[in-house]
């Protein structure tokens, strides 16, 4: 369903749903404990061009609150090596996605200034890559020299994803000039 189609559905206004940064879904302030129900809701989740999140059924739609990203990547599977490597991520709602051109890995800074890694799951919906999974990702990364200095990055699905600059003292320690 395109964003134009979303706008033709009757809006029920704001639904009292919230997705926390850790991937927990809440309804009216209480966590939803039934994973199959959360998974069902996740299948009708959409994001509009203005950044708002909506639960969309064939007959109606309602806006919800998402603290950060609607999903969390909680597991990573690695196949292959180097440029032929494929990194697949399992989300908290058991969707699997492989990092590639259509599902890029990106980094943003969180409120404390620390890097927060994300992977595109579908449409405009991202998953925050959980900190332990990000550490595993960084362990697989390689350092390369760019015009701006040393950079850490990873290959998956035939695409290179930069993970961030390597501070000069660490680049020297790693053997990068």
Q: What is the pLDDT of residues 153-168, one digit of tens each?
A: 999 999 999 988 777 6
43 band by pLDDT with thresholds 50, 70 and 90: very high
Q: Please say whether the structural domain 71-173 has been given the CATH code 2.30.270.10.
A: yes
Q: Which carries the bigger pLDDT value, residue 71 or residue 82?
A: 71
Residue 169 is predicted with a pLDDT of: 60
Residue 1 is predicted with a pLDDT of: 47
Q: What's the 3-state SS for 121-147?
A: EECCEEEEECHHHHHHHHHHCEEEEEC
8 band by pLDDT with thresholds 50, 70 and 90: low
- Note the CATH architecture for domain 3-66: Roll (3.10)
The secondary structure of 53-122 as a DSSP string is EEEE-SS-EEEEEESS-SEEEEEEEEES-GGG-EEEEEETTS-EEE-SSSS-EEEEE-TTS-EEEEEEEE
Residue among 116, 118, 81 at smallest CA distance from 99: 118
Rounded CA-CA distance 126/116 in Å is 12
Which has the minimum average pLDDT: 116-120, 144-148, 168-172?
168-172
What are the sequence ranges of the domains in the chain? 3-66, 71-173
Proportion of the chain above pLDDT 70, given as a percent = 89
Indicate whether 140 pLDDT > 90.
Answer: yes
Indicate whether 175 pLDDT > 60.
Answer: no
Greatest pairwise CA separation for the chain in angstroms: 60
Residue among 103, 76, 104 at smallest CA distance from 90: 76
Rounded CA-CA distance 153/87 in Å is 13
Residue 171 is predicted with a pLDDT of: 47
Evaluate whether 3-66 and 71-173 have a shared fold. no
Residue among 118, 107, 82, 99 at smallest CA distance from 164: 107
176 band by pLDDT with thresholds 50, 70 and 90: very low
């Amino acid at each position: 369903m395109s964003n134009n189609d979303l706008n033709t559905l009757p809006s029920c206004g704001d639904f009292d749903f919230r997705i926390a940064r850790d991937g927990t879904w809440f309804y009216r302030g209480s966590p939803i404990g039934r994973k199959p129900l959360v998974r069902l809701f996740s299948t009708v989740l959409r994001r509009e061009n203005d950044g708002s999140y909506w639960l969309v059924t064939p007959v109606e739609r309602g806006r919800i609150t998402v603290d950060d990203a609607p999903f969390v990547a909680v597991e990573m599977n690695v196949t292959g090596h180097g440029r032929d490597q494929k990194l697949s991520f399992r989300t908290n709602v058991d969707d699997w996605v492989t990092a590639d051109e259509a599902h890029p890995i990106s980094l943003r800074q969180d409120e404390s200034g620390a890097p927060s890694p994300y992977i595109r799951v579908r449409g405009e919906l991202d998953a925050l890559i959980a900190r332990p999974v990000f550490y595993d990702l960084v362990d697989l990364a390689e350092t390369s020299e760019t015009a701006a200095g040393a950079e850490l990055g990873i290959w998956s699905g035939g695409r290179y994803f930069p993970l961030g600059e390597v501070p000069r003292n660490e680049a020297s320690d790693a053997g990068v000039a």
